Amino acid sequence: MRQPFFFWKVLFILSLFLICIPQVSMATGMQPDSSLLLIQEKESGGSMNVTNTDNIPSLLYTQVINVDGEDDTIKLLPTQPVVRVEGGKTQQVRFILKTEKPLITEHLKRVIFEGIPPKIPGSNKIGITIRQNLPVLIHPEGLPERKDPWTLLTWHKEGNQLKVTNPGPYVVRLAQQFVTLPSKTQFDLGRTYLLPGQHITLSSASSLTADNEVRFVPVSRYGVQVSEFIASLN
C-alpha cells in the first residue's frame, strides 16, 4: 500500500529531530562542579570549579547578586569576573568575602556563571549563551554547622492568617508550597528560603482555627529535598 505524501513528510521531519537531539543535549556550556557555592568566613572566601563542556573556547562571565531581603553591605567578589576557558578545560573561580564586621548569621546570595561563545564566522552574532544560577551560602566563623535548620522555624496562626518566622542564625531552604493540618489548606510561600530573622505572613480564604500543624518539605544545603517535616502551628 502506497503511503500518502504527508506521511513521508512527517517521518522526514521526525528523523531530523531525532538526529539533532544528541547534539543539543551535549551543548551544555559552562558546568559548575557543585550545586552550591559555600563560602566560609574563616577562609575569607571560597572557590568553584567550572568546566567548559563545549569543544570550543568561551568566555566565562561570573556575577554575584543579592537575593531579596539580604544585606548588601556584605560583598562577595570574583577575582576574575571574565576569563577565557578552552573547550573541555576546567577553570577555578575564586571569590573574596568582604564584610564591615564579623558575621553572626548565615547569608544567602546567588552566583551566575555564563558562558559566552565566540562570534559565528561571517556574522556579527554570537552563539547561544547558557547561564547557571546557583545559591551562595556564606557561613560565619564560630557558628556550628547544623543539618536541620528548618526545625527552628516557628509557625503561628491568627484567624485566616499564618506567620512563619526564622528566629535562628541559619538560612532555611524549603519547598515553596506547604499545607496546614488537618484541613490541608494550601499555601505558597512565594520563595524557597527564609533568611535569619525573617518572617512572612500569608492569608487563607478560610479560617485556620482548627489547624494545629504545618507540613512542608525542607531542602538540604545542596538543594536536595528531604523527607516531609511536620511542625506545630500555634
Residue range 191-205, pLDDT digits in tens:
999 999 999 999 998
Number of domains, the chain: 2
Same-domain check for residues 69 and 119: yes
Same-domain check for residues 162 and 87: no
pLDDT at residue 86 is higher than 90: yes
Domain membership of residue 166 as a residue range: 149-232
What number of other Cβ atoms are within 10 A of residue 202's Cβ?
A: 14
Alpha carbon distance 113, 90 (integer Å): 13
Average pLDDT over the chain, rounded to an integer: 87
Q: Which has the higher per-residue pLDDT, 75 or 24?
A: 75
Q: What one-character DSSP code corresponds to residue 81? A: S
The region of weakest confidence among 26-35, 41-50, 84-93, 144-153 is: 26-35
Average pLDDT (137-159) is 96
Domain boundary among 115, 139, 163: 139
Does residue 42 belong to any structural domain of this protein? yes
Percent of the chain with pLDDT over 70: 84
Q: What integer pLDDT is reported at residue 12 of this predicted model?
A: 43
Give the residue from 184, 186, 189, 181 showing the smallest Cα distance to 153.
189
Alpha carbon distance 209, 141 (integer Å): 42
Domain boundary among 139, 173, 194: 139
Same-domain check for residues 85 and 154: no
Q: What integer pLDDT is reported at residue 123 of this predicted model?
A: 64
pLDDT at residue 121 is higher than 50: yes
Instruction: Look up residue 179 and give its amino acid.
Output: V
Same-domain check for residues 118 and 36: yes
Does residue 123 belong to any structural domain of this protein? yes
Does residue 14 belong to any structural domain of this protein? no
- pTM score, whole prediction: 0.82
Does residue 21 belong to any structural domain of this protein? no
Same-domain check for residues 113 and 188: no
pLDDT at residue 126 is higher than 80: no
CATH number of the domain that 54 lies in? 2.60.40.10
Domain boundary among 107, 139, 171: 139
Q: Which has the higher per-residue pLDDT, 28 or 48?
A: 48
Same-domain check for residues 82 and 169: no
Split at pLDDT 50, 70, 90, the class of 46 is very high
